[in-house]
Structure 1
Amino acid sequence: MSKNSNGGSSVQRDQESSYDPVRWLNLMVSEPYYLFHLLVFFSYIPVRCSAFQILDPARNSFLLKREIQVFVAYCVLTVVKIVRTESWESFIQDTLLFAKIFLTAIALVMDYHLALWYALAFLVIHIIAQQPPYEGLGSSNHLTPLQLESLLTEGNTSRFWLVEFRAFSTSACVCTSSFFPELSITYSNTNLSFGTIDLGLFPNAAERFGISFGSLNQLPVYILFENAVEVARFPEFDYEPYVFGPTITKVFSATTRCKCCIFLPHPLLALSVPKRSNLFLLHI
């Protein structure tokens, strides 16, 4: 488990690796999710060269116009996502989705059989590969259910524990995987500690902490413990997930006498940390 005193150096290493182009190139080659997508996207180049020789000039001209329109639309959407995105994982997921839609649409203009093959290829990738989550840990601790129970019952540990229960089989947990480590770096101290439990590795822990697998859209779940007692959670027990939830944002704002509110990676979830108090509240 990582120590709070190493939080500064840890977040610096995480930030450097996040913007390291060599790391991203290595991921593209080593991760099946990225590698398979790149192979499918670049397969359009030889297909297009062959089509240029087969199609008549009028059809080639029409196809070129559609390709330019698709490229411009993709660039506009990418710029919008860069401005509004909250994490690189979310940005990559959305831009890949746009690219798959546009590539299939262009293939449909060329030949509907080709469009069906691309749709099938993307479906196979979705089944056999998964987008890798954020690898940084920050000042949070990867815990097992037994470790969490032990930490909560020990008297010499932090008074508050904020624990994220997640499963990387869900896209929501992958897209928000960088938020909790960043939050732990900023607010981890002697009174508040952060931990994560992967329900994909420990599914039995879901029932132990009152988390239902009836709807995977409920994850991630955040539970705040004070002296081994649960004092708050989000979503609550009666939470009903919606297909289109509120916009997820992270807002960092603080004044001398005001609370500092950090909007966590789930709609309407906020962790309020009063500046001159040790009280931590989860509220909607």
Structure 2
Amino acid sequence: MSLKEDLVQLLHPYYITNILLSLSFVVCKTTPLCHIVFAGESCEFSMWESEVMFFMLVVIMFRSRKTDSRSMLSYISLASMYAKVGNVILWFSSDPIQGIVYCIISLIIFLIIGEPVYKGPEAITYFRANALDDEIVKDPSVTWLIAYYAAWNPQCTSFAHVFAKLSNEYALENLKFGKIDVGRYPDVAKKHHINITAFSVQLPTVSIFKNGKEVMRRPCLDSKGKFQKFYFTEDNMRAAFDLNNLHSECQKSLLAKKKNKKEDHEKKD
């Protein structure tokens, strides 16, 4: 997305409420609200509170670098997720009742306001459980680009519009795009060797299948057995999976198949 689109998206209640929850403890400590919320207590940060906030900042920076959060929205989503964990610790350390109230508010907001998802045009098949493997091997002439994602993962959410745009641009009868929520179907993640924990660097993962077999995926392991960083941008996807040439090859194959069918039909007549 462009910066302008990011700023418009930032006005969504999901981002506004998460930013407020992430900054709630700091705001209450540094504004006149302190005398109301922390009545009779000091409005200065204690050594323990400072250490928690510093540790929280380090974790956010480390995870952002590890997961390659390049867009503003993905960074905000990731940062708010860890910041809220830090706020739970801070509120509980201040007062267990305040901590419980914070958790209840966070849970209510989580249930009512979900992270905005891409709702534009796309040419994508969404799979459930074992239906993915059955479909891939059903017709070996079809090449599949499969995106493994988790609905709760910020990077997967940011990648949704990229994958959708590419599907609209390249999808053919024999070149198809599919997605499966491995967070919902952990057995599929295990079968395809994808780590779906909160610290995973494999979300999202995109694989290409030809003749019913996986021939490439991103991110992939390097010579040292570590996952190479991969930025899921449109240009990187086109280059890594050679989508222009792949589309051309599939298009030629499709035309040849139709031509053969036409010739066979004419011979029968």
How high is the TM-score relative to the length of structure 1?
Answer: 0.50
**Equivalent residues in 2 for 1:1-284, closer than 5 Å:** 27-28=12-13, 31=14, 34-35=16-17, 37-38=19-20, 44=27, 48-49=31-32, 87=71, 89-90=73-74, 92-93=76-77, 124=103, 128=107, 129=110, 132=115, 134-136=117-119, 138-155=122-139, 159-213=142-196, 216-236=200-220, 239-241=225-227, 248=231, 250=233, 252=235, 262-263=236-237, 270-275=240-245, 277-278=248-249
- Residues 29-65 of structure 1 show CA distances to partners (whole Å, capped at 9, x for unaligned) of xx5x74354367589489734679xxxxxxxxxxxxx
Q: Distance in 1 between matches of 2:18 and 2:104?
A: 7
- Residues 52-106 of structure 1 show CA distances to partners (whole Å, capped at 9, x for unaligned) of 9xxxxxxxxxxxxxxxxxxxxxxxxxxxxxxxx8656325437858x99xxx9xx
Q: Distance in 1 between matches of 2:230 and 2:129?
A: 31
More helix by share: 2
Q: Distance in 2 between matches of 1:212 and 1:19?
A: 28
Distance 1:208 1:127, change over 3 A: farther
Shift of the alpha carbon at 1:190? 2.5
Q: Distance in 2 between matches of 1:226 and 1:216?
A: 26
Distance 1:124 1:152, change over 3 A: same
Q: Distance in 1 between matches of 2:33 and 2:164?
A: 48
How high is the TM-score relative to the length of structure 2?
Answer: 0.52
RMSD: 5.2
* Matched length: 207
Q: 1:38 is aligned with what amino acid? A: L
Q: What stretches of structure 2 of length at least 5 have no aligned partner? A: 36-68, 252-269
Query: Contact 1:90–1:175 at 8 Å: present in 2 too?
Result: yes
Q: Distance in 1 between matches of 2:105 and 2:145?
A: 32
Q: Which one has the largest radius of gyration?
A: 2
Percent of aligned pairs sharing the same letter: 22
Distance 1:249 1:176, change over 3 A: closer
Q: 1:143 is aligned with what amino acid? A: F
- Residues 225-273 of structure 1 show CA distances to partners (whole Å, capped at 9, x for unaligned) of 11212221223366524xxx75836354xxxxxxxxx437xxxx82212
Q: In structure 2, what is the equivalent of residue 79 of structure 1?
A: none
Q: Distance in 2 between matches of 1:279 and 1:45?
A: 59
